[in-house]
Structure 1
């Protein structure tokens, strides 16, 4: 077999694939000849977006339901006999200042964005370990590295959480030949900021003018004008999956480099400003 034939024998599993980056990725994978299983809360939305194909398995899945995820992973194995590349893409943005969001709103965002991918990893990992190969893509956000956005604190917190466990996962899975990549996308021109995807606070507090300003900016000015093409992101993910040593951290988007460098500068300056105090706690004999 040629190397390319081996590549296209890989089975991809993509969550949150009925629209946006997930849908574009699935379409490109199928066009390239890969076998693909994909999920959505409504299976019909997947077939409408992508169609019916022999190498495509469309599945209904509630990513926040552990037993549901386990059953779906089993269906993928039953259909294709293996699973090779996982893309934890399902998620949504809960907008709102930290104080004004209810416990229920916060919990739901964590259930989908944090615990959902963990369910997938937990039930797919035994197959990846057994075959001693695989690649897990956890789709975070630039908001999982830079969190100083009023009205997006909880969403950023979910992505910071994903970043934390993905770093650990990368070293835990490495001995089994399984690669792990944490993806930090910038702003991509998808429906992510549209009303059916971004959730507004149920009980907004008028005092948070800065949160309302940033919220309005995202919904009215940034939405539909994002600088990045999700089709190009899909191509980038496929290229990463072919690398022998793919990165653990991958920032994607023309708007990400400046934000990353800015955050690093802030941290370096904060460390330097109080370095003597930072190191003043050591035990002296």
Structure 2
């Protein structure tokens, strides 16, 4: 029986993933900052190991990985799902607010990878799913620059990781969801600037649109999203990019078209730089 290690498991896609995996018969080690909330949400289940983990603390992460190996004997699939949204223009967000978002969304995932890799290398197998966002492929979302930057970072290190660990029989997949109907846009998941600047009307409009109009009306079904991830894991084939949702496909296509257009616009000039 394979074992999944899932971060950010107490709500959103993470909670949906944990419940579905347990129902399917997998062992699941699930991390959270609030153990009571996670246990209440999941209930009693065979093969379930809830873990209180501070993802920005390497020692806390390492202990959780060790506990998982001790209980289940291996880790077969990792889902780096933990993260939170941050709205606000680049000028509005303080250094502390920006760094905190990177600490969780980027460095928390890197801590998990760093601590899990020795086990995965030794067993010569494994699959790492880094749950990014379509906002990590296209940053054309006013007021979400720092959040997009964290997800762009995840795309970048995941592509490098995929090339690094291929020799060990380990697959790496970047998951880029569009809008899914979770609590991601709720107040406890989407943070806003402590000091807003009134001049940024487009940012306020985008922020209000996400909080008041998009929230609760997202077209993506979380259950179906997790079904896709599980099927990709079970297929066992290398797949570096996994865009989820018709909207994600549209956003990605628009970005690819825009990049292609810009490249062609100056191809002759821009390729005249070789010796």
TM-score > 0.5, shorter chain as reference: yes
What stretches of structure 2 of length at least 5 have no aligned partner? none
The reply to whether residue 218 of structure 1 matches residue 210 of structure 2 is yes
Aligned to 1:58: 50
Distance, in Å, in 2 between the alignment partners of 1:206 and 1:63 is: 34
Aligned to 1:151: 143
Q: How many residues align?
A: 275
Aligned to 2:114: 122
Q: Which of 259, 265, 284 is the equivalent residue of 2:257?
A: 265
The reply to whether residue 180 of structure 1 matches residue 160 of structure 2 is no
Distance, in Å, in 2 between the alignment partners of 1:109 and 1:215 is: 17
Q: Trace 1:36-51 onto structure 2 (pairs within 5 A).
A: 36-51=28-43
Name the SS for the 2:31 alignment partner.
Answer: strand
Q: Trace 1:75-90 onto structure 2 (pairs within 5 A).
A: 75-90=67-82
Q: Trace 1:189-208 onto structure 2 (pairs within 5 A).
A: 189-208=181-200
Note the alpha carbon deviations across 1:60-108, whole angstroms, 9 max, x for none: 0111111111111111111111111000000001110011100000000
Note the alpha carbon deviations across 1:29-79, whole angstroms, 9 max, x for none: 111111100011111111011012231000101111111111111111111
Worse overlay, 17-26 or 110-119 = 17-26
Q: TM-score scaled to structure 2, two decimals?
A: 0.99
Distance, in Å, in 2 between the alignment partners of 1:156 and 1:71 is: 30
Q: Which of 85, 89, 112 is the equivalent residue of 2:104?
A: 112
Q: Which of 118, 128, 142 is the equivalent residue of 1:136?
A: 128
Q: TM-score scaled to structure 1, two decimals?
A: 0.95
Aligned to 2:159: 167
Give the CA RMSD over aligned residues.
0.8
Distance, in Å, in 2 between the alignment partners of 1:192 and 1:143 is: 14
Quote the offset at 1:280 in angstroms. Answer: 2.2
Aligned to 1:70: 62
Aligned to 1:18: 10
Distance, in Å, in 2 between the alignment partners of 1:186 and 1:246 is: 22
Note the alpha carbon deviations across 1:208-237, whole angstroms, 9 max, x for none: 111001000000000000000111111111
Aligned to 1:4: none
Distance, in Å, in 2 between the alignment partners of 1:96 and 1:52 is: 39
Name the SS for the 1:184 alignment partner.
Answer: strand
Worse overlay, 272-281 or 148-157 = 272-281
Aligned to 1:5: none
What stretches of structure 1 of length at least 5 have no aligned partner? 1-8
Quote the offset at 1:246 in angstroms. Answer: 3.4
Runs of 4+ in 1 over 2 A off after TM superposition: none
Distance, in Å, in 2 between the alignment partners of 1:137 and 1:235 is: 14
